[in-house]
Structure 1
Amino acid sequence: MKVAVWDTYVTRKDGKVMHFDILVDENTDDAGQVFEYGKQYLKTVLQEGQPLTSKECRFCHIDKAPADIENQILKNGFSIIEMENCY
């Protein structure tokens, strides 16, 4: 499966900037849906309510997904790769 990678930078409640990628099926072209996936993730790391719009999240590139990422996308619609300050 090829996935669209959305590069995301969200300011946490403590002021640090978290960096993570939102991965979705390459045919997903609804940015609003991608933002909603990001907001779901933010809830899981106790950052609910932080802004997540086109200012914080942008399409980056298309890539081939490994099996575990593909399975997460098939199950949940998205996958997250945590890069910096996610905890």
Structure 2
Amino acid sequence: MTIKVFDTHVRTKTSRYLHFDVLIEGNDTEKAQAHARQYLLEKGLTDEDIAQSECRFCHVEPGNPVVAQAISQQGYYILELQGCQED
């Protein structure tokens, strides 16, 4: 499975910074952005909480088994990079 990686940066109105990648099988930017919004909702952040956000295609990589399984089950995988863990 070939994975498309969408680099995502979000700054909240309270200055919290989140950096994560949305990994999907296709090259559908709108789908990646929808998965990013869903992830943020799961983190308790709504559109009203967001001051600035960006989700853009970054690169292609081969999928490892964990990522491939998640994509097969839910359509995407989130790779948390910065600021995503609650303190």
TM-score band, normalised by shorter chain: 0.7 to 0.9
Instruction: In structure 2, give the amino acid aligned to 1:34.
Output: A
CA 1:13–1:86: 2 relative to 1, 3 Å: farther
Q: How does 1:53-64 map to 2 (within 5 A)?
A: 56-64=54-62
Which residue is equivalent to 1:18? 18
Q: Which has the larger radius of gyration?
A: 2
Q: How does 1:9-48 map to 2 (within 5 A)?
A: 9-25=9-25, 28-48=26-46
1:15-61 per-position Cα deviation (integer Å, ceiling 9, x unaligned): 12110000000xx2321111101111111111122378xx6011000
Contact 1:5–1:23 (8 Å) recurs in 2? yes
TM-score (norm 2): 0.85
Establish whether residue 4 from structure 1 lines up as the match of residue 4 from structure 2: yes
Shift of 1:13: 4.2
- Structure (1 or 2) with the greater strand fraction: 2
Residue of structure 2 aligned with 1:79, choices 77, 80, 83: 77
Instruction: In structure 1, give the amino acid aligned to 2:17.
Output: V
Give 4+ residue runs of structure 1 displaced > 2 Å after superposition. Answer: none
Unpaired segments of 5 or more residues in structure 1? none
| Percent of aligned pairs with the same amino acid | 30
Contact 1:7–1:20 (8 Å) recurs in 2? yes
